Structure 1
């Protein structure tokens, strides 16, 4: 048994005695922590949460925490750490949490920024394709209807001043016309430029069997997504790797990266998975 666990075991009963039955969940947790002589940093290290989130929970500031599902798991693991009755605290927590589904506020740059960037990247390729197709069409029309045959026939007639005017134009015009038409018939349309390859290697796909909170940050430390997802929903993201990912209620979430499944179990502590994908 570690020194932290010995301090918790010896101080839990003493911590609960001065706390009244009407004390909030945060007050009970704070009293038990102080009785065990633990700091916010000690608890944060054990639960893999930030000291700021520990302080917010003890102050019953649930709005500062990422979703009701994460808060429930947070309280359950905090109670286990302090040797408290997790079931009683969770029952009290349900009465304190706001009723109805939590409001999910994705960042302002989510979705819109990614869509705009995709349009900007595809616009030059689309313009180039249209220009090439238009040029090929004009080239074909010029071969069929251009003045090439007429100018060639005229030049042939003028180059033989001693010939009579009865047969030369009639003989030369069909020959020149067939020669001029041959390139048009055999003209090969230039192939359209290849479409940009899909960046499947940088695609993230989430499937949620239960409500879960997810936050994804790309290589530029830009938040691609931060919010709560309902059971049965899916989420697809793409950006510049490496990705820093935090997943609440990780046991109910499936993740694939570049089409390959990612095992979240090695990265999960207290129902929260934290990992980086290159």
Structure 2
């Protein structure tokens, strides 16, 4: 009569299944299936695992419970008999058992413990407070330094230094203007005594900055000047035909053309281009923004 392991192996082979496939379905080690089919119960971890693995194996093979229950009951009986007959081994030396707590409360010891805990807590709080205070003071100092640096203005240059750094006007051919167009005396409120005035030219222009302004000056296609002038600085230019200037801050300058004060050409912070000629001057208006072309049918 075949054993339980032989029956399980025969049923597995009839179905064309391998032990590896059974292991993948049940998550049981392949080697344990081999022990079960060989009826090698001693190589399994224990009787409990043997009975559990056999039940899962038999249910996969659709074996009736009567074919394997007697074998499992015999395995359980053998395991119980072995546990009853096994003698309990006693140690050769006495076991040291710690004394049982008496339940007494040592007030002095507990007070010292709480005092130590409180001291550690106070030390941690003091350390955190010191670090936070240092961080706040350091951030406040940095902020004050940043504000102080932002308030510092560049030192004003001396008039003599301005004359040395100011670009000289290009040489132009002397043109004698008509008597009616002789330039009037320069106004002291617009032009300081240190301003550089062109010696000759049909177009004579004086620019005095009241605010920091970027200025560029052209004579035809030739650029005469392009730089930032600071409040109080003055620049003078001359040309036989025309001068074209571009202001980065139209409201930050005062200009004089052929001895006449020029009205403001634009508000502060706006860019303006002005063309000066012997007979007059004009402000070049910026081109209008491009309009978007909407598809037909849309408003």
Q: Same fold (TM over 0.5)?
A: no
Larger relative contact order, structure 1 or 2 (CA cutoff 8 Å, min sep 6): 1
User: Which structure has more helix as a fraction of its residues?
Assistant: 1
In the superposition, the TM-score normalised over structure 2's length comes to 0.26
In the superposition, the TM-score normalised over structure 1's length comes to 0.28
